[in-house]
Amino acid sequence: MSKPIIFSGIQPTGRKHLGNYIGAIRQYVEGQDRGDPAIFCIVDLHAISVAYDPVELRERIYDTAAILLAAGLDPERCILFRQSDVRAHTELTWLLSSVTAHGDLNRMHQFKEKVGKDRDLASAALFYYPVLMAADVLAYRATEVPVGDDQRQHVELMREIARRFNERFGETLVVPELLVPKVGARIMDLQEPERKMSTTGGTQNGTVLVLEEPDAIRKKFGSAVTDSEREIVRREDKPGVTNLIDILAVARGSDQAEVESEFEGAGYGDFKKAVAEAVVEYLAPVREGYAELRPDEAELERVFAAGAEKARKLADPVVAEVRERMGFGRTSL
């Protein structure tokens, strides 16, 4: 069987959290040996869909690149680049918008969440966000998209866009598959385990950052909300404990059942301590690698330049074919 073409994108912030790491970044690292190629993109064009500061943006892009490299992405084994360096993404966004239903964009959960109360003040970019995301993936004819559970609807939409394009203009684009991890696709906030961990929508104490100091991590797990029982099992009515079991299973590289049997009869206090220690150990190499890599911006720029060159070689011919199919320029078809 041929290898998958893997594509994923990540927003540029220095405040990546444990949910991003477990739900997405961990899958990228694993994907670079399975994928041919595996392509990872820091989506700075998506970042301008909400209020932002240009000087900050540039810094956060370096932060994100350093986190990804520290996590184990190897520019020799994958393509790592900055979205705005490859013009194909913006051009394809416009072209694909002609086969994207306005109603579908209106139904996107993330749009509804981010748009808030004042719909009129939200940018058009926020509305177009899923079309750009579709262009990101379809420009490479990617077959797999590793993401966390919250991106499910966006991936479903890009599949629909690819199908509609092919129906209207002839077989051109590949309909990609969603890839969410079996454990940890949705890591929950430690304080409010009914909602997902998030730097924008979650609580500060319930969100563990990838670059956080070990003692801060211990504190956050120490105060994690559980329940009034003392059973360490995964169950729908025990979201706090279930979340901690998932986190421990991933951090240790074991599975959920193993964690449950190991902690059978143990108290919540000891259990939380064990989770904290496992996470501290799990994230330590990333934090250390980050401290080493982040200062060398010239080197990060070299990684971006090499990555963008490879990305353009893949995306440009696809966009050229899309243009031709759609009736632009002279035809050789």
Which residue number, 65 or 99, has a Cβ lying nearer to ligand AMP? 65
Stretch that binds ligand TRP, among 1-9, 28-36, 51-59, 164-172 (CB under 6 A): 1-9
In angstroms, the CA 301 to CA 290 distance is 15
Other beta carbons less than 10 A from residue 115's beta carbon: 17
Q: How far is the CB of 154 from ligand TRP (least distance, A)?
A: 6
Binders of ligand AMP among residues 184 to 243 (CB under 6 A) are: 185-187, 196-198
By CB under 6 A, the residues from 25 to 64 that bind ligand TRP are 43, 46
Only one of the segments 118-126, 145-153, 178-186, 277-285 lies at the binding site for ligand TRP (rule: CB under 6 A); that segment is: 145-153
Query: Would you state the structure tokens that stand for residue 162, as one six-digit string?
Result: 């690819």
- The only residue of 39, 133, 276, 300 in contact with ligand TRP, by rule CB under 6 A: 133
Beta-carbon count within 10 A of 198 CB:
18
Q: Which is nearer to ligand AMP, 83 or 226 (CB)?
A: 83
Q: What is the DSSP string of 271-331?
A: HHHHHHHHHHHHHHHHHHHHHHHTT-HHHHHHHHHHHHHHHHHHHHHHHHHHHHHHT-S--
Task: For the segment 8-27, give every residue that binds ligand TRP (CB under 6 A).
Answer: 8-11
Please report, as a single letter, which amino acid is at residue 300. L
Contact 248, 221 (CB under 8 A): no
187, interface contact from ligand AMP, ligand TRP, none, CB < 5-8 Å by kind = ligand AMP
Two tokens, residue 271: 């259990």
Shortest distance in whole angstroms from residue 325 CB to ligand AMP:
30
What's the min distance (Å) between Cβ of 145 and ligand AMP?
9
- Closest distance to ligand TRP from the beta carbon of 240 (Å): 24
Instruction: Choose, by CB under 6 A, the member of 143, 151, 207, 226 that binds ligand TRP.
Output: 151
Q: Say which DSSP state 209 is in.
A: B
What span, in angstroms and rounded, lies between the C-alpha atoms of 31 and 37?
9
Q: Specify the residue, 110 or 254, whose C-beta has the smaller distance to ligand TRP.
A: 110
31 binds ligand AMP (CB under 6 A): no
Q: Which is nearer to ligand TRP, 123 or 256 (CB)?
A: 123
Q: Which is nearer to ligand AMP, 4 or 19 (CB)?
A: 19
Taking CB atoms, the residue at the shortest distance from ligand TRP is 9
Considering only 19, 37, 193, 240, the residue that binds ligand AMP (CB under 6 A) is 19
Q: How far apart are CA 160 and CA 103, in angstroms?
A: 13
Among 44, 136, 150, 212, binds ligand AMP (CB under 6 A): 150
Q: Tokens 């290898």 identify what position?
A: 3
123: number of CA atoms within 13 Å, CB side? 11
Which one of residues 10, 70, 155, 161 is an interface residue with ligand AMP (CB under 6 A)? 10
Q: Does 314 bind ligand TRP (CB under 6 A)?
A: no
Contact 272, 245 (CB under 8 A): no
Distance in Å, CB of 31 to ligand TRP, minimum: 12
Stretch that binds ligand TRP, among 4-12, 229-237, 250-258, 287-295 (CB under 6 A): 4-12
The whole-angstrom separation of Cα 18 and Cα 329 is 47
Least distance CB 171 / ligand AMP (angstroms): 28
Residues 39/78, Cβ–Cβ less than 8 Å: yes
Distance CA 103, CA 96 (A): 15
In 3-state terms, what secondary structure has residue 326? helix
Distances (CA, A) of 193 to 54, 97, 171, 273: 34, 37, 44, 18
Q: What distances in angstroms separate CA 317 from CA 92, 99, 314, one per listed residue?
A: 12, 20, 6
Cα 183 from chain centre: 15
Residues making contact with ligand TRP (CB under 6 A): 7-11, 43, 46, 133, 136-137, 145, 147, 151, 154
